[in-house]
Amino acid sequence: MARQRILSGVQPTGNLHLGNYLGAIRNWVETQSQYENYFCVVDLHAITVPHNPATLAEDTYTIAALYLACGIDLNYSTIFIQSHIPAHSELTWLFNCITPMNWLTDMIQFKEKSVKQGENVGVGLLDYPVLMAADILLYKADQVPVGEDQKQHLELTRDIVNRFNHQFGEVLKLPHPMIRKEGARVMSLTDGTKKMSKSDPSELSRINLLDSADEISKKVKRCKTDPIKGLSFDVPERPECQNLLTLYMLLSGKTKEAVAAECQDMGWGQFKPLFTETVISALQPIQQKYQEVRADKTYLESVLREGREKAAAIANQTLAEVKAAMGYSVPL
Ligand code: TYM
């Protein structure tokens, strides 16, 4: 039987943090041998908020290199850059014309991000989920592994499939969100009720995959805790405790029961150094591999060139099917 297909992506906005890793990339790596996988760097999404043209290309390469450094294996997975395949933009336009405006104005991320942009909010930010739907549907993906914050965008993608197939015939495949329980919503280090985010103005709120040991140590020392001694999971009034124990569990590879037993009598003064060491040693192999990949630009370029060829073949085929279903003539 053919393997199910997976598609996912990350935006090249700044560095990747533990939320991106534990909510998305680490899960891609863990299941990649069971699927046919496509992982893109979504650089068209990156310009939906003001961006820096001087760093966009380098940031895009950084994310592609981090995919490899985190363990994406080219025997199972294809890595490519979204903007290198024009079908993503073209399908977005076709979907724009069948997507009701209010589906987009209702999106939580649009509401949150547009507040920050004020009067300058661009049409691209509103259209962001339609582009995301095009990313997924071009590859007829069965599963889409993402963090919890993308759930609503996946629902919109499914709504677009149903609407399109109803109007034009069964062309598109209905994708399923793949959201793990643990790690799907990593919280900020400075406020356990807020999601860890690239756009938080405080660097102290997140640990980036490329942070040095000193930076990690400083961020953990200053992270928010509470005055209660004894650490335990699942106490709603202790969101920071829940977040830090979950991170410790995921990065140490220990079970929840083992972590609960180990930490039940600890104070923060004992936990923080242990946590710091765990984060540093979990990130060390990723950082080392990242340096190796980054040092060989020819290799990275060849990976992306090959990825583009493989991905474009599938994307162009789907785009042709969509256009035919919508009644477009074939170019002569
Ligand atoms: P981005 O770059 O914002 O996030 C990349 C991935 O990281 C997850 N994530 C988190 N997971 C747990 N805790 C957090 N604090 C946290 N912050 C981020 C996100 O859920 C995501 O899986 N719109 C997508 C990019 C995208 C995409 C796609 C994804 C564009 N096209 C097609 C899947 C399929 C995004 O949020 O990227």
Model confidence, pTM: 0.96
pLDDT at 157 exceeding the cut of 90:
yes
| pLDDT for 307 | 98
Q: Is there a catalytic annotation at residue 195?
A: yes
Mean pLDDT of all residues in the chain?
A: 96
Instruction: Report in angstroms the alpha-carbon separations of 201 from 51, 177, 216.
Output: 15, 29, 17
Q: How far is the CA of 155 from the centre of ligand 1 (A)?
A: 14
Q: Give tens-digit pLDDT for 194-236.
A: 999 998 999 999 999 999 999 999 999 999 999 998 999 999 9
What tokens were used for 270?
A: 């004992």
pLDDT band for position 13 (cuts 50, 70, 90): confident
The CA distance from 182 to 180, in Å, is 6
Q: How far is the CA of 146 from the centre of ligand 1 (A)?
A: 6
pLDDT at 331 exceeding the cut of 90:
no
| Contact residues for 134 (Cβ-Cβ < 8 A; gap 6+) | 87, 88, 89, 91, 92, 95
Q: Is there a catalytic annotation at residue 198?
A: yes
The CA distance from 236 to 108, in Å, is 23
pLDDT band for position 332 (cuts 50, 70, 90): confident
Q: Whose CA is nearest to atom 7 of ligand 1?
A: 20
